[in-house]
Structure 1
């Protein structure tokens, strides 16, 4: 009997371990199973489970593919008191040659067990092109140049190891007028994959108004028989002052995969690149700037009412639309004028702008007008003064005058002539309940509002006070914990990720489930390289961990 009980106990423990391991799953999926040569596509590796301590996965190389970019995300769900977590690793890949390739299976270790994913089979064929990737990814050498001997840090070592990573910038023009559009393009040119998305620090573009432009997918170029992958980042700049303006260098840092070049290199090598500073000469537009809208480019203007006939007191919308190419976001609203009996309200500004190769589209200024007297009115048109970059001179466009017919309204039953505008203004003054009907509903309504207000105040106080007290409580436990000495050992040896993992484990085990803390912690732990001391200390300082 005793032996049976012991065997049953072993079976229960074994079954529990199997079920615990089964709580964690890993899977791979792809948006396509057949892709074209040099066509970017995404694969997703998901790790999910009923635990907050999911194992991580770090994959830097895919046989037959270049890694264009990587990203990670994490979702927490709390259902019936149970937590479930899902980590999603997304890789954008480009195939180099036709053929059939297998991605995976990949595995992770969890509670002493190895959990394997499925495997993906991807076919790469010539001529395949999906609609969502409708551009051409292979190009001849565009109008920019670069050196094979990389300037900046590690250039000699990089050339000797046989890879090229360039970071360059150029402008479409270097002599412009104040407010005229400039396109600055940053290009990353390489024949090797990054281990993770590189860090790029752009200048603050002091002296310019900056607009982000849509980014196109990476593409290949060929030079001297060698093929390079190019990523472009573009901005539209509009000078806000005259004279010579210097755009400081941008900086790129990251790690590239050197395993296939030198298997004994450790797999990754750090690279740092910096662009050259660029000087721009900005000229004044003209001395005569009276009535100038600030517009520089090629534009046209349209002015209209949404209705040509309204009742007195009835609001009507006037739309002034400026369409074209140039510094649309910086254009000021044209001046309008109305009869004294019109009440005018600036409604809103609507922008419909494309940001592909430059700033193009339209901007609409809306006014709400309420005429308070009947009659036939002629509303003056507007003047739009801007600098035409095609004609190279200041230009003034005057729109046609507008006609508006305002009809009278009949007097109300009480003998007063209450207009629609008065109705709009007095609508909020109408009592909710009249003549004492259903008065008890009013009392219930007011009581509900009071309860909701009290709940809101308690919630705000809890967010401001309780969150801080929990962190302080966690801090006190942490400083006296036996984990402190082990964390200090990791800190002294420079193993900051291991130290951070112990800090995270402590806070979770002590019930300190602070969303910001977990999010920032996972963001650092997901990095494919070791943390720097500065990153680690900044995290501790942010969450007041001593």
Structure 2
């Protein structure tokens, strides 16, 4: 069989393949050809607070490497740098280039040079830019401008300064941002941010306003550096890929003179404020207190124009009539309209130590009125408190005539019973009536017995709750001792104080009403127990203040030694002989 061989022919390229082949050839030739590097800007004259758009164009595709842009940093600050590559085919010719789009801010005024930039083997051209001083903020010719201001030109150390930065714009802006304010020798608090509309020269502006509270820490000049607003100006051609023209506006710097302290003022007690207030609060009405019972006093110091951390501790005064256990101060601050308001809260637990009138002295705070520029004083008046002794424990009284239960028939005298029998005999002898009377009499007797039993239980419970000083019930003493051991193990210090007082009263038959009184009675006979009792009292009522550590094991040991001493006397002496007191009287 003969096979017919087909003659192979070379087919011409299709237009589409020819296009891609030409494109590949153009790319190869573009790398071999000498590329051109040029610099262009959007303007030749700008203000010192305006940005400049610079484009560095390289006629070719860049696969790697970056131009040497460090030469710009002498007179310019590079805010942003974006690279863009383009390739197109027009009228049979390929156009390929790479652009670096830079946003520059001038570092000074005058004629500034944008020097030649080197990339690979190419060197760009150089340009001169004229930078003039910032235009006045009141100029209506500007579409977008920024300004700053301070509310006072001279201050004392730690006195509040309100610094305000504003951005005015007659066009729509997006993605606004503001640089942070940093000052080495001052405390800075950002207190407010606001937006509003304002008309200048008949032109409507949208204003973005940011306020700061500054507190200088040293004498001299406080220089507030410029702040920079940045964003994008929205236009009809803005899109997701093109946010619009980038704008940057910078506020002017401000200088405030910080004066030395006035004559006679001490740095440790220096409080420069616009207003200062003192107030107090009590955990309960303070007009009358019971000896040994704690009460909490809270004093609030509030100053307008200072932070809470700038407020010093309140003055304190010692008094022999009471003991005080201060808590940790609470320091806060808030914003009142356009000012910082600092607050310092100090709480102290007060325990009266003697009967009679207790005087808490007045508290005076000296401060400097920055509005009137003069020294002032704010005083919290003295407080007088009447301290009374605890109510003594009263013995149980016999019931009065009104409280006695009604007499049952069995309690009647023979004469009364005879009269009653005669009255009953005079009534009709009805069997069912007699049975009913008997049943009612039995029911009445049962009710009377229940009432008498209930009254006895109530008197027993009331006697135990009032800690009777004359009881000799050993079971009650043992129960109190077990409570002391359990509360000491659980570190329940406040209940432990009350239980120890009740136990000592049971054991010694003395009118002991507080832990302070108990500690004073044992001071001469058992100094170790006195120390442990006072440490317990401080730990129970200190509210977190620094006090000596309490070892409950030492406390229990000292109490157990005295308990053992009294219990031995109980077994050795006859019951009718009164025991000597547990603690020596003072």
TM-score (norm 2): 0.41
Query: For the pair shown, which has the larger CA radius of gyration, 1 or 2?
Result: 2
TM-score (norm 1): 0.43
Specify which structure has the bigger relative contact order, considering alpha-carbon pairs within 8 angstroms and separated by 6 or more residues: 1
